[in-house]
Amino acid sequence: MKDIDGEIDLVNRDPNNLNSHLGTLHFNDVIGEPDGTHSIECVWRISYLCFNCWKNLFYKLLTLFFGCCIAGEWGCEFAIIAFYHVWVISPCMKVCEINCGLCQRIYTNCANCCIVPCCEAMGGIFHHFKNT
């Protein structure tokens, strides 16, 4: 997402909160020791540090090696979707709209020729009945 100056926003990288559920992923959300079952304090602290270190380091490594390629693939995917919408789907919808408009005119003419006279005749018959 570009900011007002046309530069990429390096602070707010998820302005639409697409992945806000991942931003709150912490050590205590994944690993927890219940009362009565505790490890040694230094193990717990080192585990906390290892979890955060490896989560952040491995994420950075994965994005370094694969992020640009995957972003490029998604860019191509959305370009293909845009291409299909512009060059295939929208024209097909227009063809459908034109053909359905013609079918609607044919149906209206048939109804006016066949059904309307019958309804008018029935209305003429019942028109003579009056409530007393």
Helix (H, G, I), strand (E, B) or coil at 13: coil
Q: Which two tokens stand for residue 132?
A: 């007393």
Domain ranges for the chain: 20-127
Instruction: Give Cα separations from 123 to 10, 27, 68, 108, 110 (angstroms).
Output: 73, 78, 73, 20, 19
Nearest one of 56, 57, 70, 49 to 23, comparing CA atoms: 56
Q: Which two tokens stand for residue 35?
A: 């009362």
Helix-then-strand count for the chain, H and E? 6, 0
Predicted local distance difference test score (pLDDT) of residue 104: 92
Predicted local distance difference test score (pLDDT) of residue 127: 78
Predicted local distance difference test score (pLDDT) of residue 99: 93
pLDDT 10s per residue in the chain (132 long)? 555 556 888 888 888 888 877 777 888 888 888 888 888 889 999 999 999 999 999 999 999 999 999 999 999 999 999 999 999 999 999 999 999 999 999 999 999 999 998 998 888 888 777 665
CB 33 within 8 A of CB 48: no
Predicted local distance difference test score (pLDDT) of residue 2: 52
Predicted local distance difference test score (pLDDT) of residue 43: 92
Global confidence as pTM: 0.58
Radius of gyration, alpha carbons of the chain: 34
